[in-house]
């Protein structure tokens, strides 16, 4: 089925780590040419180790799916700085906020993902999160830690510790946090 293998297309190389917005950080294993339904297609073969998943993406669809190279060091620094900021909580229904958080997580933008982590973070002195809040927080934390670990060449555990340290440096997060959080009113 595979006709030929190349090592570089559209600025992406084999064995390079990339960000696929819907799945996070993956590694390009190969660039293959396959014949599907009589058409020759050139595909990136991307492995997501943590998810135990291999994805084949046509090289022509790279832009439309939003696949990108890992963030550079200044972008990671901006994401870490974002974590230190005040949480921004909109006074809208949870379902709408959840959709916005989900969209930010799936955007693949490292700073947008950091905003979700910052906004959904709860310290030990704060009330428990709901199940859906915790799920979104953990998804955002996972995406952010995977990219930071790949960029800085550290383990995911070390990346999570760095993220948590940045969150701890933010404005005082305690019982009085509700008054401190920046509340954005949404025009109806």
Range 2-69 has CATH code 3.40.640.10: no
User: DSSP characters for 78-137?
Assistant: HHHHHHTS--EEE-S-HHHHHHHHHHHHHH--HHHHHHHHHHH---TTSPPPPHHHHHHH
Q: Tell me where in the chain the CATH 2.40.10.170 domain(s) lie.
A: 2-69
Q: Which CATH number fits domain 73-184: 1.20.58.1290, 1.10.3720.10, 1.10.274.50, 3.40.47.10?
A: 1.20.58.1290
Rounded to 10 degrees, the C-alpha dihedral 17/18/20/25 comes to 40
Q: What is the pLDDT of residues 80-135, one digit of tens each?
A: 999 999 998 888 999 999 999 999 999 999 999 999 999 999 888 888 889 999 99
Residue 188 has pLDDT above 60, yes or no: no
Cβ atoms of 69 and 88 within 8 Å: the answer is: no
pTM: 0.83
Distance of CA 124 to the CA centre of its chain: 24
């Amino acid at each position: 089925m595979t006709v030929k293998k190349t090592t570089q297309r559209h600025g992406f190389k084999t064995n390079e780590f990339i960000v696929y917005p819907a799945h996070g950080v993956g590694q390009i294993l190969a660039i293959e040419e396959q014949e599907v339904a009589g058409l020759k297609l050139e595909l990136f073969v991307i492995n997501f180790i943590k998810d135990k998943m291999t994805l084949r993406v046509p090289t022509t669809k790279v832009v439309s799916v939003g696949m990108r190279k890992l963030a550079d060091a200044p972008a990671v620094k901006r994401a870490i700085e974002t974590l230190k900021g005040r949480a921004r909580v909109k006074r809208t229904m949870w379902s709408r906020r959840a959709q916005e958080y989900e969209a930010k997580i799936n955007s693949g933008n490292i700073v947008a993902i950091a905003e979700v982590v910052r906004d959904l973070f709860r310290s030990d002195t704060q009330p428990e999160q709901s199940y859906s809040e915790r799920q979104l927080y953990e998804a955002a934390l996972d995406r952010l830690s995977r990219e930071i670990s790949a960029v800085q060449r550290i383990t995911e555990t070390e990346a999570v510790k760095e993220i948590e340290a940045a969150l701890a440096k933010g404005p005082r997060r305690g019982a009085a946090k509700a008054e401190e959080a920046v509340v954005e009113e949404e025009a109806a």
